[in-house]
Amino acid sequence: MEHNVDVVVLGGGIAGSCITKALANKQWETALIDRRTFPRHKVCGEFLSPEAKSTLHALGLTETVVSLLPSRIERAKIIFERGGEVELPIPGAAWGLSRYVMDEALHRAALQAGAQLHLSTTVTGIEQHGKGYTVRTKQGTDTNLFHARTVIAAWGANSRITNAGRRPDTAASSQKAYIGVKTHYNGLKMEPVIEMYFFHGGYLGLCPVEDGSVNAAALLNRSEFVKAGKSVLSILEAAIQRNRRLAERLATAVPVYDTQAAIAPVYLQHKPAPWDGLPRLGDAAAMIAPLCGDGMSMALRSAALCAPLADSFLRGSISLLEWEQRYTQTIRQEFASPLRWGSVLQWLMSKPTVQQFLPSAARFAPLLANGLVRATRLKPLEPQEFYTK
């Protein structure tokens, strides 16, 4: 079967769903394609930083998210391997919200805006031609062709899609490889606090989410956990035992059935990559260190920044080259500093000597600690005419 649309969005996560909704709201025929089924659990800290709220408002999604009853998070607590602790306030308060319910809600919002959703659908090829693109897909035994004026890549950090005008990734082989794992736990009493536990080889965050359960997500050096087993829970258990206070905290916690997820390899980015043959959103454009807690916010922001430019391109107001230049410039302006400081923070937190003196330093110089955290955050989204018409 053949479909004629204005836009194909590849990837049904936060960024892909949001730009699909935004463009469908402007009456563009928009098709979102993802190879996976939804709803599903994904490796994510499930922490929506306060900086995400202005972006949600611009996208018209504040009520959607609030209706999911996210947990309120007012403070961040950092616990180091030797027991040292730092506690920081979160100005404006954050939210804890599982990707299981958030992604599904964003899909509903996109459908209500008039978009098409094609889930459990594998992209087998992308061809660019004079009038746009042809995207080949397969769903079961059915093959489909989508003829689109433009294609937007929101396929996450580990896309399997080929023939998309992408350059070979030669940088990844020289970077440190991580693995990401997550599960939900029941039986944990949580204050409105996100808890971060550091240990040799990685860190793990505990974040209360909407249903009273607690999300546990860890980023681990791949080389440190090759012998930890193949299941998510066995890898998590090996990590948990590296921090005494974390092991005590989770001693009576019960993993929630079928909430486990893993991703590997994970490569953190020092610089944004907003365009590579196609406009890139979310983790495809920028993968910030998870300890910064701004990954979901960056996904939302990339969609909010790209949508007005995509709309202008479709209306003929700007060329494809202008779209690329303006989007690239905007993403670099907004993301470069948080990514750079996120890399610095990731490096600092991996050093045992830093972990020893940081609790004392934070007590004597709280403004310094708060300033370092703020440096990894996005600024509030500037009002844009696209979202007010």
Closest CA relative to residue 218, chosen from 208, 232, 229, 228:
232
- Over 36-88, what HEC string results? CCCCCCCCCCCEECCCHHHHHHHCCCHHHHHCCCCEEEEEEEEECCCCCEEEE
Count CB atoms within 10 A of the CB of residue 338: 24
Ramachandran angles phi, psi of 208, nearest 5° = -65, 140
With tokens 């709309």, the residue in question is: 311
* The predicted structure's pLDDT at residue 372: 59
Count of H-run helices and E-run strands, the chain: 10, 15
The residues with which 216 forms a beta bridge, in sequence order, are 183, 206
Render each residue's pLDDT in the chain as its tens digit; 389 residues: 999 999 999 999 999 999 999 999 999 999 999 999 999 999 999 999 998 999 999 999 999 999 999 999 999 999 988 888 888 888 888 999 999 999 999 999 999 999 999 999 999 999 999 889 999 999 999 999 999 999 999 999 877 665 554 544 544 545 789 999 999 999 999 999 999 999 999 999 999 999 999 999 999 999 999 888 889 999 999 999 999 999 999 999 999 999 999 999 999 877 899 999 999 999 999 888 888 888 999 999 999 999 999 999 999 999 999 999 999 999 999 998 888 888 888 887 877 777 676 666 656 555 555 665 666 678 878 777 787 76
Q: How is domain 2-40+101-168+280-387 classified at the architecture level of CATH?
A: 3-Layer(bba) Sandwich (3.50)
With tokens 């998309």, the residue in question is: 164
Half-sphere exposure of 161 (CA within 13 A, CB side): 30
Terminal alpha carbon distance of the chain: 35
Contact 149, 155 (CB under 8 A): no
CA distances from 31 to 7, 106, 301 (A): 6, 14, 20
Residue 117: which region, alpha, beta or left (left: phi > 0; alpha: psi -120 to 50)? Answer: beta
Helix/strand/coil percent split, the chain, to 5 = 35, 30, 35
Domain range summary for the chain, segments of one domain joined by +:
2-40+101-168+280-387
Q: CA–CA separation, 116 vs 212, rounded Å?
A: 33
Half-sphere exposure of 351 (CA within 13 A, CB side): 9
